[in-house]
């Protein structure tokens, strides 16, 4: 661990401390580290070649004809990108499927687009995070 010191106006520090308390941070360093990591993840994920981990949330109608087969097929076709899949039955009609993806930022986005655009998929949203490297 290394340290550096930050100088800032008292008023800004008070605002930071209030936000920190509301979000549950117990120490300033941890809150600052999270601000830095969040910015690094955001910046990294704009580079198409950067290796990222993504979680893709798909909401769909399980009884759409052919949908489950196509979902399975596309995942197998790009199986190198799919680490794991979690499936939940939300109610009689709706399924939630969460895919953990790992690969280049461009590859992950492309697979996410092709799954989200299938007929019967009501909502698809990709969250990009990091492989953990460089975030310490």
Our CB check for its own copies shows the closer of 22 and 79 to be 22
Give the footprint of its own copies on residues 94-123 (CB under 8 A): 94, 96, 98, 100, 102, 113-114, 116-119, 121-123
Token duo for residue 111: 């697979």
Distance CA 136, CA 34 (A): 11
**Of positions 29, 63, 66, 77, contacts its own copies by CB under 8 A:** 29
Distance CA 124, CA 46 (A): 19
Give the footprint of its own copies on residues 32-51 (CB under 8 A): 32-41, 43
**Of positions 53, 70, 75, 78, contacts its own copies by CB under 8 A:** 53
Which strands form 94-104's sheet, in the order they lie side by side?
82-89, 94-104, 51-61, 121-129
């Amino acid at each position: 661990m290394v340290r550096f010191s930050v100088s800032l106006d008292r008023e800004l520090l008070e605002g930071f401390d209030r936000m920190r308390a509301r979000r549950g941070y117990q120490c300033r360093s941890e809150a600052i580290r999270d601000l830095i990591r969040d910015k690094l993840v955001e910046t990294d994920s704009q580079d198409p070649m950067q290796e990222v981990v993504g979680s893709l949330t798909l909401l769909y109608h399980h009884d759409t004809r052919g949908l489950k087969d196509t979902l399975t097929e596309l995942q197998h076709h790009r199986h190198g990108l799919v680490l794991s899949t979690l499936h939940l039955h939300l109610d009689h009609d709706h399924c939630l499927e969460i895919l953990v993806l790992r690969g280049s930022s461009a590859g992950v986005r492309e697979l996410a687009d092709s799954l989200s655009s299938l007929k019967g998929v009501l909502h698809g949203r990709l969250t990009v995070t990091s492989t953990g490297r460089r975030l310490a």
